[in-house]
Amino acid sequence: MTSQQKDNLFILVKSLSKSEKRQFKLYVGRLGGNTDSKFLALFNLLDKLKKYDEKLILKSGIVKKAQLSNLKAHLYKQILISLRLNPLHQNTRAQIREQLDFATILYHKGLYKQSLKLLDKAKNTAVNNEEKILAYEIVELEKVIESQYITRSIRNRADELTEQAKMLSIQNTITSKLSNLSLQLYGVLLKTGYAKNDEEYQQITTYFNDRMPDVKISEMGFREKLWLYKSHLWYNFLVQDFLTCYKYAVKWVDLFHENKPMIRLNPVFFLKGYNYLLESLYHIKYHSKFKAALSDFQQHITTNKLLPNDDNVSALSFLYLYTNKLNLHFFEGTFKEGLPLVDEVLDGIKEYGNRIDAHHIMVFYYKIASLYFGAGNCKKCIEYLELIINNKSLKMREDLLCFSRVLSLFAHYEVGLDYHLEVQLKSTYKFLLKMNELHEVQKEMIKFLRTIGDVYPHQFKREFVKLHTTLKQYEEDPYERRAFLYLDVLSWLESKIENRSIDVIIQEKFKIVKR
């Protein structure tokens, strides 16, 4: 039986809004013969089901088992056609493609002048909206038509089209090279996280420099600049140069503010730009700018009329807003005050679960676990960490898996689960060795947890001071310091040494360095 999570048709039906369902039924009803069609009956049944049940579908008598696959494929196609006709999904890019389709139909009917007129209009729209790949495709069709039917409407028409094709080809090549580089760097970031040593740093830097095309910013359009800034941002994230990340994130966001119509056409990139601006500010500990940018971002997603009102934008807005709302509490050390966000995040995961990838859901779980750890509720912390540690299908962000295990060790120690701690120590040590993640910070923490059980209670403080002194030297190390990005172990140790809660320690530090 196909599972609910894997049945694409069921997921598509459940993603439809009330207005989209109503439009689909109106679309089907345009022809009288469709009102009793099998695919409409299947649609109505799937709409009522809470989870996908193939046995129930077959029992309904709508379709025989041998025909079910074809009927589902037909229904899937009809829903997409209906959605394409919905004004909500008619953005500029879709309109250009539609004009290109119409022009192609006119060409095949031999109505060359009408086709060329439509293509010229579509090309201007494409160029004005930085849709240069579409513009190139239009020019290529214009060349085909002109080669078969000389309109004589413009002198040197062949030279003009050839020059347009050449310029668009050069620009698209630059965009393609930059987008390929950006995607590859982003893939490395998701897979392994930050550079762990000089060797990885050199590999990433060489890879970046070798593939960065020779470009002049003054000759670049919106799209080329966007991919250029993204490439630089991913590279600097990988090498942990967060100040430069901030510089390129600002350029990314400002690019949209300078070209406001691009927000409607590229809403996902607009939202991502703000998210990485906030992440950069979080890493460089610039609280006032972080808080202002978060407020600005929240205002955009609630009031900016240029942002489309669609499911993708809603899901990403939730993801980025709540990720950074949680980060604000980590910034300020207000863990207990952040706990009400947990239910809001879990509700969002439930609502947008099919639109948010598993990796980002696991990041939410890690942040929730960290929130509970900071608030002193280590049992809840362990509960959420186990959702990550026991997720055998998670293939990305090795560093997330590693630090989830390390935080779990500290949480087990806090609640006195000695037997569980010993089992965790062994499995974590093996896991870190296997993942090539066993750095000095992790080694020292595991060594500490291994020996603390043999230390008398009155000697605990001495051991905490010793570990704090050892780890403090790694705080500014370019490769070891990343451990402190995920787990503020120094503040935890200080809370043990001073016999105060970790949130109070972090709040005091925040007041000292606040800017």
Biggest CA pair distance of the chain: 97
Query: Rounded CA gap, 165 and 176, in Å?
Result: 16
Q: What DSSP string runs through 100-117?
A: HHHHHHHHHTT-HHHHHH
Q: Residue 155: its pLDDT value, please? A: 59
Q: Residue 34: its pLDDT value, please? A: 58
Q: What is the DSSP letter of 90?
A: -
Q: Residue 409: its pLDDT value, please? A: 81
Residue 355 sits at φ, ψ, to 5 deg, of -115, -5
Q: 3-state DSSP: the chain helix, strand, coil percent, rounded to 5?
A: 80, 0, 20
Q: Residue 6: its pLDDT value, please? A: 64
Radius of gyration of the chain (CA): 28
Nearest to 479 by CA among 212, 131, 202, 161: 202
Structural contact between residues 358 and 364, judged by C-beta atoms closer than 8 angstroms: no
Give CA angle at 390 (389, 395), nearest 5°: 75
Place of tokens 């609502």: 351
What's the full length of the chain, in residues?
A: 515
Q: Residue 7: its pLDDT value, please? A: 85
Q: Residue 410: its pLDDT value, please? A: 82
Structural contact between residues 510 and 333, judged by C-beta atoms closer than 8 angstroms: yes
Q: Residue 3: its pLDDT value, please? A: 42
Structural contact between residues 374 and 333, judged by C-beta atoms closer than 8 angstroms: yes
- Residue ranges per structural domain of the chain: 8-89, 108-153
Mean pLDDT, consecutive 10-residue stretches, the chain (515 aa), reads 63 88 85 68 90 89 88 91 77 88 90 91 91 91 80 67 88 90 84 80 92 87 92 92 95 95 91 96 92 95 86 92 94 93 95 85 93 92 91 67 82 75 71 67 76 71 86 83 76 86 85 68
Tokens standing for 260?
A: 């406001």
Q: Where are the alpha helices (DSSP H) in 415-455?
A: 418-434, 440-451
Q: Residue 354: its pLDDT value, please? A: 79
Structural contact between residues 247 and 284, judged by C-beta atoms closer than 8 angstroms: no
Nearest to 282 by CA among 395, 352, 367: 367
pTM to 2 decimal places? 0.79
Q: Residue 324: its pLDDT value, please? A: 95
Q: Residue 399: its pLDDT value, please? A: 67
Tokens standing for 449?
A: 């947890």
